[in-house]
Structure 1
Amino acid sequence: MNTIKENILALQARINKAKDTSARSGDDVLLLAVSKTKPVEAIIEAMGAGQRAFGENYVQEGTDKVQYFSEHFPQQDLEWHFIGPIQSNKTRPVAENFSWVHTVDRAKIAQRLNDQRPDNLPPLQVLIQVNTSGESSKSGISENEIAELARLISSLPNLTLRGLMSIPENVSDHHSQFAAFHQLATIQKRLQADYPSADTLSMGMTGDMEAAIEAGSTIVRIGTAIFGARDYRPGNSRPKEQ
Structure 2
Amino acid sequence: MNDIAERFQHVRSQIRHAVSIAGRPRGSVQLLAVSKTKPAGDIATLYRLGQRHFAENYLQEALGKQRQLSAFNITWHFIGPIQSNKTKPIATHFAWVHSVDRLKIAQRLSEQRPAHLPPLNICLQVNISAEDSKSGVSLEDLPALVEEVRMLPNLRLRGVMAIPEAESNYAKQRQPYRRLCQAVKELNRPELDSYSFGMSGDLKAAIMEGATMVRIGTALFGERQYD
Q: Structure 1-normalised TM-score?
A: 0.91
Separation of aligned partners in 1, 2:168 and 2:200: 11
**Structure 2 match to 1:116:** 112
Q: Could you give the per-residue CA deviations for residues 127-147 of structure 1, whole angstroms, max 9, x where no partner exists?
A: 000011011001101112112
> 5 Å matches for 1:1-242?
3-70=3-70, 73=71, 76-191=72-187, 193-194=188-189, 196-232=190-226
State the aligned residue count.
227
Q: Is the 8 A contact 2:20 2:26 kept in 1?
A: no
Separation of aligned partners in 2, 1:219 and 1:188: 16
Q: Could you give the per-residue CA deviations for residues 143-202 of structure 1, whole angstroms, max 9, x where no partner exists?
A: 1211221112111111000000000010001000011111111122223x23x2210000
Other structure's SS at 2:211 match: coil
Other structure's SS at 1:207 match: coil
- Structure 1 letter corresponding to 2:25: S
Separation of aligned partners in 2, 1:124 and 1:5: 31
Separation of aligned partners in 2, 1:188 and 1:219: 16
Runs of 4+ with deviation above 6 angstroms: none
Q: Is the 8 A contact 2:44 2:69 kept in 1?
A: no
- CA RMSD for the aligned pairs? 1.3
Q: Structure 2-normalised TM-score?
A: 0.96
* Same amino acid, percent of matched pairs: 49
- Structure 1 letter corresponding to 2:101: D
| Structure with greater proportional helix content | 1
Separation of aligned partners in 2, 1:69 and 1:153: 31
Structure 1, gaps ≥5 residues long: 234-242
Separation of aligned partners in 1, 2:54 and 2:226: 18
Separation of aligned partners in 2, 1:49 and 1:122: 27
